[in-house]
Chain A
Amino acid sequence: MNVLEIRNLTKKFGDFIAVDNINLSVAEGEIFGFLGANGAGKSTTINMIASLLRATRGEIELLGRNIAKHNKFAKMNIGIVPQDLAIYEDMTAYENVSFFAGLYGLRGSLLHERTEEALQFVGLGDKHRSFPRNFSGGMKRRLNIACAIAHRPKLIIMDEPTVGIDPQSRNYILNSVRKLNDMGCTIIYTSHYMEEVEEICTRIAIVDHGKIIADGTKEQLKSTITDTKDIWIGVKSAESLKVDSLRNVQGVTAVRMDEQILKINSKTEVNNLNDIIQKLIRDRVEIRSVEEQEPSLETVFLTLTGRNLRD
């Protein structure tokens, strides 16, 4: 069953079209990534999913129910980690989490239990009584996450949760995203950090100018622009090399010698590095380095949109 189903979603601000007729579905258990430059419409879409903005046109269904009609149901089942920190600096960490969880109707011992659980989860279990104003950027981000997950939502939306934090906290956050996913949460993740999206997302949509240009797994996205990769092998001397024997290796489409580097172009889906190297050894070629060059998501984005992610 699809956790989220978006149909013909459009948002206009005056005559500026921020989100332009988006169709999308997110299945249960996915970590769905929204990839796009600043101003591409990611946050607008997310705010509409979270009912913070009213759509100009189109429908959003959460677990099969229209969120405009089942507002309370939608709110109970969505947890949002907003781009801008939403925590109170002069309340303790514990008070912050229990305040937000309380908004979802948790009371008494259950509230206490879930608050503890959420704080433990983000690694702030020993910071109950501390005030966020003394926290580092990463800790504030983690507290922000704890506030969003204490009521155990089915769908967690994270809008750029790793902006401006140290690498350690970043790893911690990425790990907790995976852990939440393992626990059965579906996650929507937006970022303009390509590596993060590439690392954790099971499916990715590339958004530009309010439209979804392509979506799929990262392999599918990469295959939209090419199905070959370059293998660069540094060799000492290639006089004894029989180039034709390399051309016969399965998957190889082109072989070229460039200075001291043997440049081989090969199909992405074929794993033929072993065969290639075996042939080189048999021909007594001395190998100095081996490098595989596959297109990154950054390249995919650049090729499809003609723009860099961080303009």
Chain B
Amino acid sequence: MELWTIGNKAGLLLYVILASYFSAEATDNRLLLAYLIYLCLNIAIPIFRDNLLRRLLATLSAAFIIYCALWLNPLFILLLPVNLYEWTDYGRLHRGIAFLLMLVPLFLAPWSVIPSYALAVSLSYLFYAANRSHTASLQRLDDERESLRLNQQRLQRTISENDEFMRQSAYTIKLEERNRLSQQIHDEIGHSMAGALIQMEASRRLLDANKEKAAELLGNAISISKEGLERIRLTLKDMKPRSEELGINRLRLFVDELASRQGMTATLTHEGDMDRITSIQWKVIQQNATEAATNSFKYSEATAIRIHVQVLNRFIKAVVSDNGKGAEKIVKGLGIIGMEERTAALNGTVIVDGTQGFSVTTLMPLGAEGENVHPTESEYSHGEG
């Protein structure tokens, strides 16, 4: 903005100098001095950073111009508009005020300079107004960019924090699990093994002396070992999550709840080998089903909802459909976007269809990459749901 103002002033000053040089009057040394003073004052303006000082200088310059215009050469008045707009600008006043102030000398100036003055006013004002609006929009863009940058940084930080948290919690869980396991092995299995060992040692010593006693001790050792073996089995079984916490059973629980709470008919069917669905995939299926079902009883006026989980050769398909009014045009809300994002994390897609009731289909590839998965022999089974 400043540079443009300086240019504006320079142009006008050049015009004033040339115009007075070519006019009939002889060159006046006082005129030269006046130009230099004007230059000094106006060069000083952009040097200072303080708005008040700048405004003062602009006022001084304006006063000096009026003085020169009155006593030396009326052409000086042409330089006034720029200083006036500077004055309003530094004072953060409305630019209309600048325009009004610029108009005042029109009534006071001698007839001969009025046309030139009008030209100077209109050009300077236009220049100033355009400049100001562009500066404002630049400023706005800058602010916007800055806030975007900050936002991005914040998000980046959140992501890395979350990553760290995930790593940490995975590690913690592993540690806890290992602790629990070694504790259990020590408490239950270690003791019985030690007991059995003692009995067996004793029986070996007694083998020659007292055969009956030795046989009894050996019998004890055997039963203790059996018990220990049983404990190992139980411990291992205990480590596997209980079946109601997993997959289809959890989904069934959700469906039953839906049916009793919302008064809808809710059915769950499945087809194919459910064991091939990993727990993370179950989680996505579960969350998507919850989301879709929530949408259904909020918007669809449906009376029945149907969930179907199907394991294909390389895909898992989970469909939640209702018999409601559906939707001609589907507008993606946060819910649908959430489902899509969750599913995309496992390389899957979500199809939302509103033509026959409302249906949400979640498709996910089976196996890590979805490729080169060779199912085992046992996997041939047709629908049992």
Binding partners A and B:
yes
Question: Quick check: A307 and B315 within 8 Å, CB to CB?
Answer: no
Residues of B within 8 A of A212 (CB): 349
Residues of B within 8 A of A293 (CB): none
For the complex, would chain A's binding face be called helix, strand, loop or mixed by DSSP majority?
Answer: mixed
Chain B's closest residue to A212 (CB) is: B349
B154 on the A face (CB < 8 A): no
Chain B's closest residue to A304 (CB) is: B363
B319 on the A face (CB < 8 A): yes
Question: Quick check: A305 and B351 within 8 Å, CB to CB?
Answer: yes
Interface size of A by Cβ–Cβ distance < 8 Å?
24
Contact of A223 among B313, B319, B353 (CB under 8 A): B313
Residues of B within 8 A of A227 (CB): 313, 375
Contact with B along A196-221 (1 / 0, CB 8 A): 00000000000011011110000000
Question: Quick check: B349 and A265 within 8 Å, CB to CB?
Answer: no
Contact of A224 among B315, B331, B352, B377 (CB under 8 A): B315
A16 to B328, CA, bound (A): 10
A249 on the B face (CB < 8 A): no
Residues of B within 8 A of A225 (CB): 312-315
A15 on the B face (CB < 8 A): yes
What's the least CB distance linking A306 to chain B, in Å? 6
What's the least CB distance linking A217 to chain B, in Å? 12
Q: Which of A122-138 contact B (CB under 8 A)?
A: none
Residues of B within 8 A of A15 (CB): 329, 331-332
B71 on the A face (CB < 8 A): no
Using A228-B380, A305-B361, A306-B359 as known contacts, say yes or no to A209 and B315 having CB atoms under 8 A apart: no
Question: Quick check: B312 and A209 within 8 Å, CB to CB?
Answer: no
Question: Quick check: A303 and B312 within 8 Å, CB to CB?
Answer: yes
Contact with B along A249-263 (1 / 0, CB 8 A): 000011000000000
Range for the number of chain B residues in contact with chain A: 20 to 34
A180 on the B face (CB < 8 A): no
Residues of A within 8 A of B312 (CB): 224-226, 303
Contact with B along A223-261 (1 / 0, CB 8 A): 111111000000000000000000000000110000000
A307 to B361, CA, bound (A): 11
Question: Quick check: A16 and B313 within 8 Å, CB to CB?
Answer: no
Question: Quick check: A303 and B317 within 8 Å, CB to CB?
Answer: yes
Contact with B along A54-77 (1 / 0, CB 8 A): 000000000000000000000000
A10 to B363, CA, bound (A): 20
Using A17-B332, A253-B377, A306-B361 as known contacts, say yes or no to A211 and B313 having CB atoms under 8 A apart: no
- Give the tally of cross-chain contacts (CB within 8 A): 53
Contact with B along A286-311 (1 / 0, CB 8 A): 00000000000000000111110001
A70 to B351, CA, bound (A): 34
Contact of B353 among A209, A226, A253, A304 (CB under 8 A): A209
Contact with B along A1-26 (1 / 0, CB 8 A): 00000000000000111000000000
Contact of B380 among A224, A254, A305 (CB under 8 A): A254
Residues of A within 8 A of B353 (CB): 209, 306-307
Contact with A along B318-329 (1 / 0, CB 8 A): 010100000001
Contact of B319 among A17, A208, A306 (CB under 8 A): A306
A218 to B363, CA, bound (A): 19
Question: Quick check: B377 and A304 within 8 Å, CB to CB?
Answer: no
Residues of A within 8 A of B332 (CB): 15, 17
Residues of A within 8 A of B314 (CB): 223-225
Question: Quick check: A211 and B329 within 8 Å, CB to CB?
Answer: no
Q: Which of B306-356 contact A (CB under 8 A)?
A: 310, 312-315, 317, 319, 321, 329-332, 349, 351-353, 355
Chain B's closest residue to A15 (CB) is: B331
> Considering residues A223, A227, A265, which has the most beta carbons from chain B within 10 angstroms of its beta carbon?
A227
Chain A's closest residue to B350 (CB) is: A211
Contact with B along A271-291 (1 / 0, CB 8 A): 000000000000000000000
Residues of B within 8 A of A17 (CB): 330, 332
What's the least CB distance linking A117 to chain B, in Å? 42
Q: Which of A5-49 contact B (CB under 8 A)?
A: 15-17
5 shortest interchain CB distances as A-B pairs: A225-B312, A253-B380, A224-B314, A226-B313, A227-B313
* 15 more CB-based (< 8 A) A-B contacts, given A211-B349, A304-B317: A15-B332, A17-B332, A208-B351, A209-B352, A211-B351, A213-B349, A213-B363, A224-B314, A224-B315, A225-B313, A225-B315, A226-B312, A227-B375, A253-B377, A303-B310
Query: Which residue numbers of B lie inside 8 Å of A, CB to CB?
Result: 310, 312-315, 317, 319, 321, 329-332, 349, 351-353, 355, 359, 361, 363, 375, 377, 380
Please list 5 pairs of residues, one from A and one from B, whose beta carbons are closer than 8 Å in the complex, sorted by A's number: A15-B331, A209-B352, A225-B315, A253-B377, A253-B380
Query: Which residue numbers of A lie inside 8 Å of B, CB to CB?
Result: 15-17, 208-209, 211-214, 223-228, 253-254, 265, 303-307, 311
